[in-house]
Structure 1
């Protein structure tokens, strides 16, 4: 139960960062915190429902899914940072309010 609270707290911190920060790097870091909290919740729920001594196939699937989420989060962070660098080079700023030229 405490893992649920920690995960909700981390997700709330990440959501607060996404909604209030104006810098693209900070927004990307906040999204990573939100994704990490979801992964933590998934692993915590799997650990609390599966017996430890038993080799449960469902528990292994959840662990593999968590590893997949971690790998995808790393790829998302790399792509996001590459986009932030491209935007910073093009517009000379990473402030969201100053990026008015992105409209179609």
Structure 2
């Protein structure tokens, strides 16, 4: 059996990679990919804690799976809306670089 700490270390590393990707990149699609990595790190944490909690209890609870499903739904909606905004901004300015997208400035 894999210890819980390994899952947490993996999740923390995945979250840090996603955070670095979201903060260091200038391309809008790369920023969205970084945010997706951070959401996947949260999913790894939820599933790991659910698995170890379910092993301690005699009756299996599905709270961890329900939360993970909600995170997947939010991630899918975020990708759909974010990609639509990026495509719309790209069609207007012909650049995916976030620093050059000043559509919302008055």
TM-score norm. by structure 1 comes to: 0.89
Which residue, 30, 39, 45 being the options, matches 2:43? Answer: 39
Which residue, 76, 85, 88 being the options, matches 2:87? Answer: 85
8 Å contact kept, 2:49–2:64: no
Q: Distance in 2 between matches of 1:96 and 1:27?
A: 9
**Any runs of at least 4 consecutive aligned residues in structure 1 with deviations exceeding 6 A, and if so which?**
none
Structure 2 residue runs without a partner (length 5+): none
Deviation at 1:52, TM superposition (A): 7.4
Q: CA RMSD in A?
A: 1.6
Q: Which moved more, 1:5-14 or 1:69-78?
A: 69-78
Deviation at 1:48, TM superposition (A): 1.4
Q: Distance in 2 between matches of 1:101 and 1:69?
A: 29
Q: Distance in 2 between matches of 1:97 and 1:51?
A: 48
Structure 1 equivalent of residue 104 of structure 2: 102
Structure 1 equivalent of residue 32 of structure 2: 28
Q: Which moved more, 1:41-50 or 1:18-27?
A: 41-50
Report SS of the residue matched to 1:102: coil
